[in-house]
Structure 1
Amino acid sequence: MNGAQLMLEMLASAGVRYVFGNPGSTELPLTDAMVAEDRLEYILGLQEVPVMGIAEGYAQATRQPGVVNLHISPGLGNGLGMLYNAYRAGTPLVVTAGQQDRRLRFSEPILWGEMVEVARPWTKWSAEVQRVEDIPAAMRRAIQTALMPPTGPVFLSIPVDVQQQEAPSLDLTPPQPVNPLLRPPADELLRAVDVLATATNPAILAGSRVTESDAISELVTVAETLGAPVISEPGTTHGRLGFPCTHPLSAPGLPLWAPDIHERLSEFDVILAVGLDVLRLYVYYEPERAIPEHIRLVHLDHDPWELRKNHATEVALCGGLKPGLSELGQQLSDHLTPAQHESISERRGRREAAHSEARASLQAQASAELPQRPLTSLALMSSIAAALPPDIAVVEEAVTTTNTYLERLGAIADPTGYFGHRGWGLGWGLNCAIGVQLAWPDRPVLGVIGEGASMYGIQGLWTAARYNIPVTFVIPNNAQYQILKVGARGIGLPHASDGQYVGMDLVEPEVDLVALAGSLGVEACRVTEPEELTDVLAGALADPRPRLIDVPIDRTTPAAMEY
């Protein structure tokens, strides 16, 4: 076998099914080898942003490596924003790229560049394979490193001549990732139990890594034992839904801004943070910090880098979330006194009543806004919610429109089916949705993608059409970068306060997304009425083809985000 064939052999033996790519001259040996490799399918993207985004969606949904092949330095450059997203989300990507023939490097040929150092800041491991004999070990290490918690992307540069070289008989043992996630230390668990059991008004912050660790049911047990509301992480990092939004202890997520987070958390005396970065914020704000100083913080995570990183933490628990929460729930139940159980029961009743009241209030507000035209964000999301089946998976990249409305309306019945931004490099959402649908062919997938964000990776629609990936998109279209307007007003910029902005309106001309989608092979329509939207969306989700629905919405810039 030559080097390219060795790469494919190692991928196939690891159970990899797809290679996502956009080829070039330095990748030709690999694509040629794929002609005879029936265990792998090449998924073509028209540009590197869609390629990376689709691979990330696939990897997030399967928790298996998304394998990418990029075209040398310019291709890596095009994909760097999405690599950043994957790094921030901890997504297990194995990103490869061809490199110029080693015999040409001294002359600095076209397309050549030092890719290893370019990729290093946003990967767990970055290397170049200089010998064909090292390809099996390099591929094995890359896959194992990507999947080792805390998971994340890796990068391999493979020169074109190494891909073509014939190899001697080599060790082709498949990758065997090690799971190091044991329960946290027993003494630290006891300290955490003591803090939580004596809390008078505790809350739980649930992060994306709860879902990714398959620990939702264990967190539900802890929340019910404590009678504590469960709040999702801020919109800045709210990538997965760590707690069922249909559960009566589910509470609205944290807002974007530090002062709003501070105000929201001030009522609590103890917080248990599980599987999230505490906290990765959007803009600088002082003198208030996001977490009030009086709060006693207990933090459980399998990533030691995140423990005690930004905020004073009374108990830091390093270990697997699933075994850690299981042990914590059991010890809490055994530790609580009858008086504490009674107090918790009363607290749980109050929180469940507040949950019901908040949902009813939001539903009433949505009904009141339905007659407005263009549709408000809440009316749009309420109309979407009415069409969603129980097994829906939703990918969001429209932060000023979605506003966690689907969660607060209880529209996502299965918490594993939520995907949101953690890196904020635009172009991710549309393509992530395609990757999720590829991973879950028997589950309907909806992408709610702002018109501005969609244009950063719109070429992905062609891939959805080419491979008949039946994802559905709703585009809330306000023809502007509204998040920037809200941000400018939020930090008190003088012209923004007067409603004056530069470079934030997508008009003159407006993008015709219906025509654009059609040119890329995806059937599309424009809808303005809520009842029509619900009907069209229900039909699109049942359609075995990709579909796009463009919905004009209110262009008024809100004073602040609503979470």
Structure 2
Amino acid sequence: MAEQMTGAEMVVQALIDQNVQHIFGYPGGAALPIYDAIFQQDSVQHILVRHEQGATHMAEGYARSTGKPGVVLVTSGPGATNAVTGLTDALMDSIPLVCITAQVPTTLIGSDGFQECDTVGITRSCTKHNYLVKRVEDLPRVLHEAFHIATSGRPGPVVIDIPKDVQFALGEYTRPEADGFRHSSYKPQTQGDLEAIKVAVEMMLRAERPVIYSGGGVINSGPEASKHLRELAELTGFPVTSTLMGLGAFPASDPQWLGMLGMHGTYEANLAMHDCDLMINIGARFDDRITGRIDAFSPDSTKVHVDIDPAQINKNVRVDLPIVGDCGLVLEEMVRLYRSITNEPRTEAIADWWKQIEGWREVKSLNYTPSETTIKPQYAIARLYEMTKDRDVYITTEVGQHQMWAAQHFHFDKPNRWMTSGGLGTMGYGLPAAVGVQVAHPDALVIDIAGEASVQMTMQEMSTAVQYRLPIKIFILNNERMGMVRQWQDLLHGGRYAHSYSESLPDFVKLAEAYGGKGIRCDNPAELDAAIQEMLDYPGPVLFDVLVEKDENCLPMIPSGKPHNEIILPDTANIGSIIDEKGRQLV
């Protein structure tokens, strides 16, 4: 039955009907009718952020850790433009968000009114879809469509721009179960072509050097997809690697796990990708940080690509067998068809391949030189992992060296426990994302592994954590450098460190206390475990300033644009001296 209500009340009722429990936002004049409607109900909890970028990252962390859409509410003009970074981040990493932006009244649109901007125009390229709702009669349909579009097919962000007069207007609200709340032209293909899946299984039964390459699409598909990935690996005996976004879909403790692939991936994962004869890409998009030089990427392999987004097929890498469909459903069919032929892994057929992989493993590419006087960043993360691995732990990160060290040295056996900015590489992501994860999982241990430069970009969200009593832990690897920028300046620019270090860092202990949290500092490896324990024992938000080796490089590393077999290893690294035959530093 249709109900009479204002546009603002429709927004809140739609959130309730879509089972939204939390919304992240910041009020402003154009959004006040919606905020007034929120004030008059108790079903949806609003989390007041300190900056709209923080709201989008909180919603991303919430969505990534739960599989549910994250919801954002911001005002017009700067409220909307401040959200653009998070929207783009969500689009790149396929995170389902619904972002409701307020707009000036329809009579003022185009007049350069106070706090007016072309929100639809600005966000067209950084959202999966967006709407400007000019009639209250359209609002219920748009609200429900937005959730459908954000969460189905390849997930992504959707913006709904609602003018203030539409929020005040009276209209009929219809609930989502009514007919017509499915976008008529948006019907993503979820079932993979059965004949193509049969061909893929036949390829698996013939391969001698196979590798399964999984991505964030396996995580996005839901827990069943990760279960089927593990079943397929166990059935076949094949080695498994993944992208940065796919960590946790396959357990890091499993002997078939090769570690992360790509620019800062393991030696064994990258060499296996380079030398394989069958690559099974499940839910990854052949990102440049994975492929390196395209014409030298896995040159002798037959390539199978499973992706729900047909636009990703043959976009970056030409493949031999495309399968468009949901990763979980395709994996389920692969398992079923493989079992219909045999239940035996191909142990003998790929024994030589595993022998070769074990040889690459012996290189121990993640090794580092320990120190008794200085905390190495790898050691800090290794100790953090050992002291939290038996807890219900979720990890977020900022972006930079610390992010790659976290991916290398913190190990994930479950999906949805690793929240990081992959495609856009957004500094400042981790702290607000940790807030969003903690809102979703109030009893869990949530840790942001941070860098001292990245974390300052959204540091104000520490205030949000304190206000809502969210006991997030910010584990800062403080090398007083923009570490990855400094490392690339070594690689490409002759060690000319143009603005890649900070001469005026805050005292993070005092800063934590100023916000109402706890601050801890440690610079001694012998005292690190006790300091980590102090962080874990504190019942509120913590900023932990870990002073680490200033000039440590993040290795292994494949220089940009180079093939996987030109990987720089820790024991051979002299990054500043890598030059080409004409004496120029590598690009």
**Is the structural similarity TM-score above 0.5?**
yes
Alignment of 1:39-438 (within 5 A): 39-167=43-171, 169-173=172-176, 182-213=190-221, 214=223, 215-233=225-243, 235=244, 238=245, 240-256=247-263, 265-281=273-289, 289=295, 291-335=297-341, 341-344=346-349, 346=351, 350=355, 365=367, 369-373=370-374, 375-390=375-390, 391-404=392-405, 408=409, 411-422=411-422, 423-438=424-439
Aligned length: 544
> For 1:105-163, what per-residue CA distance to the aligned partner results, in whole angstroms no more than 9, with x for missing partners?
35321211111010111111111111122211111111111111211100011111111
In structure 2, the residue corresponding to 1:203 is in which secondary structure?
Answer: strand
Q: Does the 8 Å CA contact 2:90/2:97 hold for their aligned counterparts?
A: yes
Relative to 1, partners in 2 of residues 1:67 and 1:396: Cα closer, same or farther, differing over 3 Å? Answer: same
In structure 1, the residue corresponding to 2:458 is in which secondary structure?
Answer: coil
Percent of aligned positions that are identical: 25
Relative to 1, partners in 2 of residues 1:204 and 1:392: Cα closer, same or farther, differing over 3 Å? Answer: same
What's the offset of the Cα at 1:484? 1.5
Q: Which residue of 2 aligns with 1:530?
A: 525
Relative to 1, partners in 2 of residues 1:452 and 1:444: Cα closer, same or farther, differing over 3 Å? Answer: same
Q: Does the 8 Å CA contact 1:19/1:69 hold for their aligned counterparts?
A: yes
Q: Does 1:505 align with 2:498?
A: no
Q: Does the 8 Å CA contact 1:227/1:348 hold for their aligned counterparts?
A: no
Partner letter of residue 341 of structure 1?
A: R
Q: Which residue of 1 aligns with 2:509?
A: 514
Give the whole-Å Cα distance in 2 for the aligned partners of 1:483 and 1:228: 33
Relative to 1, partners in 2 of residues 1:195 and 1:404: Cα closer, same or farther, differing over 3 Å? Answer: farther
In structure 1, the residue corresponding to 2:109 is in which secondary structure?
Answer: helix
Partner letter of residue 425 of structure 1?
A: T
Q: Which residue of 2 aligns with 1:470?
A: 471
> For 1:64-96, what per-residue CA distance to the aligned partner results, in whole angstroms no more than 9, with x for missing partners?
221111121211211211111011111111111
Relative to 1, partners in 2 of residues 1:272 and 1:329: Cα closer, same or farther, differing over 3 Å? Answer: same
In structure 1, the residue corresponding to 2:50 is in which secondary structure?
Answer: coil
What's the offset of the Cα at 1:483? 1.1
Q: Which residue of 1 aligns with 2:566?
A: none
Relative to 1, partners in 2 of residues 1:93 and 1:405: Cα closer, same or farther, differing over 3 Å? Answer: closer
Partner letter of residue 194 of structure 1?
A: E
Partner letter of residue 327 of structure 2?
A: L
Partner letter of residue 540 of structure 2?
A: R
Partner letter of residue 216 of structure 1?
A: S
Q: Does the 8 Å CA contact 1:228/1:348 hold for their aligned counterparts?
A: no
Partner letter of residue 299 of structure 1?
A: H
Q: Does the 8 Å CA contact 2:226/2:250 hold for their aligned counterparts?
A: yes
Partner letter of residue 433 of structure 1?
A: A
> For 1:197-225, what per-residue CA distance to the aligned partner results, in whole angstroms no more than 9, with x for missing partners?
21111111111121222211211122223
Q: Report the TM-score when normalising by structure 2.
A: 0.86
Give the whole-Å Cα distance in 2 for the aligned partners of 1:383 and 1:150: 36
Relative to 1, partners in 2 of residues 1:162 and 1:506: Cα closer, same or farther, differing over 3 Å? Answer: same
Give the whole-Å Cα distance in 1 for the aligned partners of 2:338 and 2:46: 50
In structure 1, the residue corresponding to 2:477 is in which secondary structure?
Answer: strand
Relative to 1, partners in 2 of residues 1:79 and 1:377: Cα closer, same or farther, differing over 3 Å? Answer: same
Long gaps (5+) in structure 1: none
- Once the two structures are overlaid, the 10-residue window that deviates more, 481-490 or 194-203, is 481-490
Partner letter of residue 329 of structure 1?
A: V
What's the offset of the Cα at 1:240? 4.3
What's the offset of the Cα at 1:44? 0.4
Partner letter of residue 51 of structure 1?
A: A
In structure 1, the residue corresponding to 2:141 is in which secondary structure?
Answer: helix
What's the offset of the Cα at 1:345? 6.9
Relative to 1, partners in 2 of residues 1:345 and 1:183: Cα closer, same or farther, differing over 3 Å? Answer: same
Give the whole-Å Cα distance in 1 for the aligned partners of 2:182 and 2:215: 24
Relative to 1, partners in 2 of residues 1:356 and 1:420: Cα closer, same or farther, differing over 3 Å? Answer: same
In structure 2, the residue corresponding to 1:533 is in which secondary structure?
Answer: helix
Q: Report the TM-score when normalising by structure 1.
A: 0.89
> For 1:492-532, what per-residue CA distance to the aligned partner results, in whole angstroms no more than 9, with x for missing partners?
3xxx32x222111111x123222222222221111123353
What's the offset of the Cα at 1:239? 5.7
In structure 2, the residue corresponding to 1:550 is in which secondary structure?
Answer: strand
Partner letter of residue 250 of structure 2?
A: F
Q: Does 1:460 align with 2:461?
A: yes
Relative to 1, partners in 2 of residues 1:97 and 1:185: Cα closer, same or farther, differing over 3 Å? Answer: same
Q: Which residue of 1 aligns with 2:580?
A: none
Give the whole-Å Cα distance in 1 for the aligned partners of 2:488 and 2:442: 38
Relative to 1, partners in 2 of residues 1:99 and 1:182: Cα closer, same or farther, differing over 3 Å? Answer: closer
In structure 1, the residue corresponding to 2:155 is in which secondary structure?
Answer: coil
Partner letter of residue 328 of structure 2?
A: K
Q: How well do the aligned residues superpose, as a CA RMSD in angstroms?
A: 2.9
Q: Does the 8 Å CA contact 1:392/1:412 hold for their aligned counterparts?
A: no
What's the offset of the Cα at 1:4? 0.6
Partner letter of residue 510 of structure 1?
A: L
What's the offset of the Cα at 1:451? 1.1
In structure 2, the residue corresponding to 1:343 is in which secondary structure?
Answer: coil
In structure 2, the residue corresponding to 1:209 is in which secondary structure?
Answer: helix
> For 1:213-255, what per-residue CA distance to the aligned partner results, in whole angstroms no more than 9, with x for missing partners?
221121112222332221121x5xx364321111111112123
Relative to 1, partners in 2 of residues 1:258 and 1:183: Cα closer, same or farther, differing over 3 Å? Answer: same
Relative to 1, partners in 2 of residues 1:553 and 1:43: Cα closer, same or farther, differing over 3 Å? Answer: same
What's the offset of the Cα at 1:535? 3.0
Partner letter of residue 496 of structure 2?
A: Q
What's the offset of the Cα at 1:257? 7.5
What's the offset of the Cα at 1:540? 2.9
Relative to 1, partners in 2 of residues 1:408 and 1:225: Cα closer, same or farther, differing over 3 Å? Answer: farther
- Once the two structures are overlaid, the 10-residue window that deviates more, 110-119 or 181-190, is 181-190
In structure 2, the residue corresponding to 1:20 is in which secondary structure?
Answer: strand
Q: Does the 8 Å CA contact 2:264/2:404 hold for their aligned counterparts?
A: no
> For 1:179-207, what per-residue CA distance to the aligned partner results, in whole angstroms no more than 9, with x for missing partners?
96644112101211122221111111111
